[in-house]
Chain A
Amino acid sequence: MPQIFHPAMNTVARLTVFGAAFGVVGTIVLFYEYSRSPFQTEVNVVREQPVQFSHEHHSGQLGIDCRYCHTTVENGPFANIPPTHTCMSCHSQIWADSPMLKPVRDSLASGEPLRWERVHDLPDFAYFEHGIHIQKGVGCASCHGRVDEMPLTWKAEPLTMEWCLDCHRHPETHLRPRSEIFNMEYSLPEREQNMVGKRLVREYGVQSGYYLTNCTVCHR
């Protein structure tokens, strides 16, 4: 019987088997990495905004409290984006002729709201609520990073389900006293954090990781 395959085909066959296995795994790894990469999660991506509003300026340097603008963050699901009136309570006089602030003045005059581009936007099938996190001792910086150092706002965390669950499994690793919620610099060494965290879990009656990882907590 004549040989159908040339001996060199052995190498090709091995390569095919090898390639098939690794190709499949590689594709999975690629998808896995891609879905968590900044391309997909848009971490550290800055949006084009109608006004170059800077948290670094307003929160960092001027020390304005987050709640001056994000009024409903303590009690509601939605943190609130300030209306034009809030900006104008200062900019009626400060930089009142600046071309940078022209859209703000136009908006007040016409009643047409400014259209801020959302930086964080969960899919509609996931439920998030600010109030409970603030009341139970999760600081803004744990989820939004050092907002007071951002000249334009970006996402500091991926907001994937994996990320939510990492904290929901072990809330004590992230809790802080309520008085430090708005403190952007607060951080404790790990051992101390675990001690304080465990105490706060008891004090604030924080639910267990078992409850907090139920699908219905976030998909309701």
Chain B
Amino acid sequence: MRAWFGLIPLAFLAGCRNDMYDQPRYEPLEPGSHLIGPSSARPLLPGTVARSENRVLGAFDTGLSNGKLTEELPLKIDRAVLERGAERYGIFCTPCHGATGDGRGMIVQRGFSPPPSLHTKELREAPAGHFFDVITNGHGAMYSYAARVPTRDRWAITAYIRALQLSQNAHVKDLDPEDQARLAEIKP
């Protein structure tokens, strides 16, 4: 009989559960219950606007001014914006468009259909809103990047593409006279 008392502590083990390890709440992207659907993360309804972007939609949000693609960049361009643009371009665009925008990125070398160079006449003359539109809605074989690139970053990338276009089409006469003189020295 006495021996059976030894088993009492075992009864306490019944209290050992992992409730605190896996609490009844959703972690991001956890599979949902049948009420919620396959994932706790719900897909956005069409036309959803992030709360932080809740204002009258202008050229900044749509890339359009007066119903046409906007020519001007609708934000103040400074060094910080360009650096942000360069970083985001490096993450999202170089795999296909290449670091200089020549359209020969790594994924293209592995067989993706080659995009046009960003330095063609059409794209250099294209309005700024066109680049915004391509990133937002995709273009032919290129998918939309709207889910991954927020509005402000899309303009930063556009600004950086403008800088790239300048860099690949610079003329000697655009340089400072000082630098021109130095260049002339180097050239035999």
Which A residues lie at the B interface, using CB under 8 A?
62-65, 67-68, 71, 78, 80-81, 83, 85-86, 88-90, 92-94, 111-113, 115, 123-125
Contact = CB atoms under 8 A, between A and B. Distances in A.
A27 B8 CA distance: 21
A81 B141 contact: no
A81 B29 contact: yes
B68 interface: no
B95 A124 contact: no
A59 B108 CA distance: 16
20 contacts: A62-B95, A62-B107, A62-B110, A65-B90, A65-B91, A78-B27, A83-B147, A90-B107, A92-B143, A93-B111, A94-B111, A111-B43, A112-B38, A113-B29, A113-B39, A123-B22, A124-B21, A124-B23, A124-B25, A125-B20
Interface of A is mostly: loop
Nearest to B28: A78
B31 A115 contact: yes
A93 B147 CA distance: 20
B21 A63 contact: no
Given A85-B143, A124-B23, 12 more contacts: A62-B106, A62-B107, A63-B106, A64-B106, A67-B91, A68-B92, A81-B29, A83-B147, A85-B147, A89-B145, A90-B95, A90-B112
